Amino acid sequence: MKDIFCLTGGVLGTNTYIVPLANNECFVVDPAVDAERIVEKIASAGLRLTAILLTHGHYDHMESLQELSLLYPQAKIAIHSEDAKSLGKDALLRHYAEFASTGLVQLYAAFQGDFEKKPHLPEADFFLKEGEVFENEWLVLHTPGHTRGCICLYNEKKKQLLSGDTLFYMGWGRTDLEGGDQRALQTSLKRLFDLPSETKVFPGHEQYGFSLAETNASVTRGFLTI
């Protein structure tokens, strides 16, 4: 089976992952880059897209969700129920209002064209739930803190962790936006660091493929001791 593919792009340099499954199927995590890039990579790898999973409900992790869902109507969309309001008919207005109200002027301006072009975002087809195993491989971990509905996906056999914006290389997700909770994030990070230290991490931004051991000490010193 092929390994995880990473494509980086979008306004905030978000990592989009294409994760191969058995029988040449795959799922996409956080479609932020141009849909054409995702389509090309899936085709060149000889894969079939069956699902689109969102680690949380921030718009920079779903910039190309609408286009991708139209290109692959058979692909089921999933998110945690706590972030479900980030999808659906009125979701774009909520994203737009959040950027404006929190003073994120640069984001507000950068995403404005998207909001004007897209009438709505698709609804979720199903919800990702704590403790469930997606496609018999990926354990869903509910890791609130960055948002209420943040999730990570852990493959025990391969020792791989898709961490979204919960954990970065030498860092962690911000907690000052709607749904953010510093104490909840600390609890979530401690939970992740209980996984095997050799686990490879694939976060929502910046460097990927590092081990939990590489970032544990930095995060513990900088955040978990607050």
167-180 pLDDT, tens per residue? Answer: 999 999 999 888 89
Q: Which domains does the chain have, with CATH numbers?
A: 5-224 (3.60.15.10)
Mean model confidence pLDDT for the chain: 90
- Give dist(CA 169, CA 167) in Å, integer: 7
DSSP state of 61: G
**Residue at token pair 């058995």:** 22
Give 107's pLDDT tier (boundaries 50, 70, 90): low
Q: Give dist(CA 190, CA 158) in Å, integer.
A: 21
This prediction's pTM: 0.92
Distance between CA 110 and CA 193 in Å, rounded?
35
Match 């899936």 to its residue by tokens. Answer: 42
Instruction: Give per-residue pLDDT as tens, 8-33.
Output: 998 889 999 999 999 999 999 999 99
Q: In the block, which residue shows the tokens 């909520």?
A: 94
CA 52 – CA 33 distance, rounded (Å): 13
Closest to 50 (Cα-Cα) out of 15, 30, 80, 77: 77
Which range has the top average pLDDT, 81-90, 115-124, 196-205?
196-205
Q: Assess contact for 64 and 41: CB atoms under 8 A.
A: no
Residue 2 zone, left/alpha/beta (φ > 0; ψ -120 to 50; rest): beta
More confident residue, 111 or 206: 206
pLDDT of residue 110: 61
For 173, counting Cβ atoms within 10 Å of its Cβ (0-12 exposed, 13-18 middle, 19+ buried), the class is buried
Strand 160-164 relative to strand 200-203, pairing: parallel
Q: Quote the CA–CA distance of 200 and 105 in Å, as a whole number.
A: 34
Average pLDDT over residues 197-224: 89
Give the closest residue to 109 by CA, choosing from 99, 95, 118: 99
Helix (H, G, I), strand (E, B) or coil at 172: strand
